[in-house]
Amino acid sequence: MIKRTLTINGVEKSVITKPDTSLADVLREQLRITSVKVGCGTGQCGGCSVIMDGKVIRSCITKMKRVKDGTSIITLEGIGTPNNLHPIQLAWIANGGAQCGFCTPGFIVSTMALLESNLSPTREEVRDWFQKHKNVCRCTGYKPLVDSVMDAAKLMRGEITEDDLRFKIPEDGRIWGTKYPRPSAIAKVTGTCDFGADLGIKMPSDTLRLALVQAEVSHANILSIDTSEAEKMDGVFKVVTHKDVVGKNRITGLITFPSNLGDGWERPILCDDKIFQYGDAIAVVCADTEEHAKEAAKKVKVEIEQLPEYMNAYAAMAEDALEIHPGTPNVYFTQKIVKGEETAPVFDKADVVIEDDFYVGRQPHMPIEPDVGFAYYDENEDMIISSKSIGIHLHQAMIAPGIGIDPDKLKLTANPAGGTFGYKFSPTMEALLGVACMATKRPVFLNYTWYQQQTYTGKRSPFFMNVKFAADKEGKLLGMESDWTVDHGPYSEFGDLLTLRGAQFIGAGYDIANIRGEGRTVCTNHAWGSAFRGYGAPQSVFASEVLMDELAEKLNIDPLEIRYKNAYRKGCTTPTGQEPDVFCIPELIDTMRPEYAEAKKSAAARSTDEVKCGVGLALAVYAAGLDGPDSAESCVELNEDNTVTMFSSWGEHGQGADMGTLGTAHEALRPLNLAPNDIKLVMNDMRTTPNAGPAGGSRSQVVVGQSVKAACEALLDAMRKSDGTFRTYEEMKAENIPFKYSGTWTAPCTDCDENGQGNPFPCFMYGFFMAETDVEIKTGKTTVTKMTMVADVGVVNNKLVVDGQLYGGLAQGIGLALSEEYEDIKKHSNMKGAGIPYIKDIPDNINLIYVETPRPNGPFGASGCGEIPLASPHAAIINAIYNACGVRITKLPAKPEKVLAALNAKK
């Protein structure tokens, strides 16, 4: 043990600790300074940044033995407080710098040190600083963060006032369509927002800390699990294995379609007979400290019989491949698309036919916050599981039978989430917490390392695609044939629905009268497929958007014009035969025209023999809503002080469920002239908030928003007097009128049939992307120098949120195009290895342009927006690479070595 006396935020504190304990652990666990966030835990993300003796350091890799007595440490708590915000914090709020907010403390601390050394940085100097200090953000696309630093510096130099940065409510009192900051912004920029790990360490002292024992092979029979040595280790309370699970020990994948050959019950909570993928959970050690739990986890012995590992769809489809789940074929679901006439004669008669193969891979979600949660029994003996769930009611249904608990006795609540990007559409630790809590009858807390985040949670499912277009010589599409194979890993969770996305979105955006195709879902031993922002669109649209450029080239038509010619117009239908909600694509393309002309000129002027510059386009359509009669419920209550409380299960990834709910409710309740602060939010707690469905498929603004609107309208109806004015709380009470109202909404939609035909979605989102890239000929390295997106997400609820969604989604698209993958489990199990974009990988030059076509099915005309920015920016980048240097990378990611090999092959 060592003793250190440190000056923390100006106050002297002594700590006694182990020499090898990290400064981050001492600050968080011993001193309870929880603004310091641990993301990667290995020095790659800057989440744990603090200022040590004037310099920014990463406290997760700073051992206490290297921290001298008398050292000064500044954390976010020492920079500003909710009632006394520092200019940097004010600027962060004004620019929407905190989406999930998990990276925010690290960035603000880092900015503080920058501005102390240089109060007038250029934007490039700010970017260099964050690059050098490895500050990573997965939500914002970085531009709003640079904007924040520039504003903070201006304020600190006295060039603007605080008032200039504070939001002012417009005279009409309306916040719909404005940049009103999200309600959680102050807590996020001051480090007072408690995320799951912060709440976990503040649990009562008898809380058990958990550690996972994970599989280290991808496919094996389990012969035995020996926990005897682990049980004897210091501090161990219990080692929980499948034998302790009283329920079915399975998480149900909720089969969507009857033709699915699986039963959806294949994911074990804790492996019993078999290991299906690397990282599978085999046991959970429950101990007094995290350190003890982790030490004991290393002592659990698992005897296995290795089986052949089928690491991609084609390996698992081989004739001699074993059934990964005995009794269920590895190809367990097929989906056809049959629209219009047979395509064979159409292709025979066409002037031109073009065909290519495409692959979009296993993109990892890479939230900065690793998965985290805790469970306990409450005063009613109900089991409460608190996690990053973005679908609390859905997850209750998926895990209760497996744990062996009456669903009525199981309640889920959501902690503030440090980003999920879809992986939390699946329960990833909720069932583990449930079985550990039940087996020990103690509160339990599980905080994954980032390695566990990467190796145990789902990934984007790879699509192998072959797509063929038939067209006339003017470039009008006459037909399409498509074939797609979905590698969904070992667990079926929503794999059938994902496969349907191929039918719905390959070729979306274009009037294609005749389509034939088939897709299939394949069980493999690589990472299980979970929802990821875009859910099938980044795969499907990539194929048709790159092929569209190939067709344009063959016909010598400009890529913009061929898209314009084929865009949805009145009278045409989507690939599923549905009439689009609006016909905005020609306007999106027209809006892009001048930008495109400018970009082409600039690329031509900048290109040299060493660096070739190019411009690429891609269109995207994606749905806002889940298939068919998707529905949601929300409640609102009039309070004694004439404010109202909204009860909503709008799931929060970090995207802005709080702002979405507040903005929609405020607009719906405008007749009451409430200030935004008069609307209180109770969110995502099954004890009080009704089922609104999961926050996937960019559905919440539309479907949950409609239910918020309906609840508010019901309250207004109850409050309305005959003269059109509204009753107060006292008047309602006097007349015995109830105060609380529920609103529900169901999409007027039908599921797709076995031919992929139907009217599945209430609203669509549209985007037209342009990428400008530089390709270094010697190395094959691609740099995206500018992204432009013309977006139609309907009427915008909150401009700050929507801008943030688009910036962040575009940045993930750049990652998908150029660097991100999770193919090689060892190499890609850390952030850097998996290709997370740092600030210098994302251009500062991002241009967002809006077309706001009101949606008939959206609340106040809004559609969704979360996923459209990731639907096809990567296709635009790949098209830009081709435009720059003549190589077409159809299998992502386009890493330098791949581009270089293609350049060399071309020579």
417 scored as a contact of ligand FES (CB under 6 A): no
* Measured distance CA(831)–CA(836) in Å, rounded: 6
419 scored as a contact of ligand FES (CB under 6 A): yes
CA-to-CA separations, 561 to 110, 273, 361, 548, 558, in angstroms, rounded: 46, 57, 30, 11, 5
Q: 794 is in the binding site of which of ligand MCN, ligand FES, none (Cβ under 5 to 8 A by kind)?
A: ligand MCN
Would you say 131 or 334 has its CB closer to ligand FES?
Answer: 131
Tokens of residue 94, six digits: 């004004």
Determine which residue in the list 21, 35, 99, 420 makes contact with ligand FES, applying CB under 6 A. 99
Q: Mask: binding to ligand FES, 363-382, rule CB under 6 A, as x and -?
A: -----x--------------
140 scored as a contact of ligand FES (CB under 6 A): yes
For 850-868, give one letter per residue: b (16+ CB within 10 A) or e.
bbbbebebbbbbbbbbbbb
CA-to-CA separations, 864 to 182, 625, 668, 705, 799, in angstroms, rounded: 17, 8, 18, 10, 13
Q: 631 is in the binding site of which of ligand MCN, ligand FES, none (Cβ under 5 to 8 A by kind)?
A: none
Would you say 47 or 656 has its CB closer to ligand MCN?
Answer: 656
Tokens of residue 145, six digits: 């963060």
623 scored as a contact of ligand FES (CB under 6 A): no
36 scored as a contact of ligand FES (CB under 6 A): no
* Measured distance CA(701)–CA(709) in Å, rounded: 11
43 scored as a contact of ligand FES (CB under 6 A): yes
- Given 295, 550, 772, 867, the catalytic residue: 867
Straight-line distance from the first to the last Cα atom of the chain, in angstroms, rounded to the nearest whole number: 64
**Catalytic residue check, 867:** yes
Q: 177 is in the binding site of which of ligand FES, ligand MCN, none (Cβ under 5 to 8 A by kind)?
A: none
60 scored as a contact of ligand FES (CB under 6 A): yes
Min separation Cβ 833 and ligand MCN, Å: 21
Q: 797 is in the binding site of which of ligand FES, ligand MCN, none (Cβ under 5 to 8 A by kind)?
A: ligand MCN
141 scored as a contact of ligand FES (CB under 6 A): no
* Measured distance CA(614)–CA(594) in Å, rounded: 16
Determine which residue in the list 133, 138, 325, 786 makes contact with ligand FES, applying CB under 6 A. 138
User: Which DSSP letter does residue 2 get?
Assistant: E
User: Which DSSP letter does residue 748 get?
Assistant: S
Q: Is the separation of the CB atoms in 683 and 410 below 8 Å?
A: no
Q: 780 is in the binding site of which of ligand FES, ligand MCN, none (Cβ under 5 to 8 A by kind)?
A: none
193 scored as a contact of ligand FES (CB under 6 A): no
Min separation Cβ 420 and ligand FES, Å: 10
* Measured distance CA(835)–CA(819) in Å, rounded: 5
Determine which residue in the list 27, 52, 100, 618 makes contact with ligand FES, applying CB under 6 A. 100
Determine which residue in the list 23, 40, 109, 498 makes contact with ligand FES, applying CB under 6 A. 40
866 scored as a contact of ligand FES (CB under 6 A): no
Q: Is the separation of the CB atoms in 585 and 619 below 8 Å?
A: yes
Neighbours of 510 (CB within 10 A): 23
Q: Is the separation of the CB atoms in 675 and 662 below 8 Å?
A: no
Q: Where are the beta strands (DSSP E) in 625-709?
A: 631-638, 644-648, 679-683
Nearest to 683 by CA among 731, 651, 711, 660: 651
Would you say 383 or 801 has its CB closer to ligand FES?
Answer: 801
* Measured distance CA(755)–CA(762) in Å, rounded: 20
Would you say 182 or 516 has its CB closer to ligand MCN?
Answer: 182
Min separation Cβ 144 and ligand MCN, Å: 11
Would you say 110 or 798 has its CB closer to ligand MCN?
Answer: 798
299 scored as a contact of ligand FES (CB under 6 A): no
41 scored as a contact of ligand FES (CB under 6 A): yes
Q: Which amino acid is at 210?
A: L
Name the pairing type of β-strands 236-240 and 782-792. unpaired
Residue numbers 653-682 binding ligand FES by CB under 6 A: 654
Tokens of residue 58, six digits: 């990463």
Would you say 402 or 866 has its CB closer to ligand MCN?
Answer: 866
Determine which residue in the list 8, 26, 51, 137 makes contact with ligand FES, applying CB under 6 A. 137
Q: What is the CA radius of gyration of the chain?
A: 27
Q: Is the separation of the CB atoms in 34 and 198 below 8 Å?
A: yes
Q: Which residues bind ligand MCN (CB under 6 A)?
A: 99-100, 139, 419-422, 533, 653-657, 659-660, 695-701, 793-794, 796-798, 801-802, 805, 808, 862-867
Q: 862 is in the binding site of which of ligand FES, ligand MCN, none (Cβ under 5 to 8 A by kind)?
A: ligand MCN
* Measured distance CA(21)–CA(24) in Å, rounded: 8
Nearest to 373 by CA among 428, 420, 410, 421: 428
Would you say 522 or 765 has its CB closer to ligand MCN?
Answer: 765
Nearest to 384 by CA among 637, 595, 203, 640: 203
Min separation Cβ 32 and ligand FES, Å: 18
Positions marked active-site = 867
Residues that bind ligand FES (CB under 6 A): 38-41, 43-48, 58, 60, 98-103, 137-140, 368, 419, 654
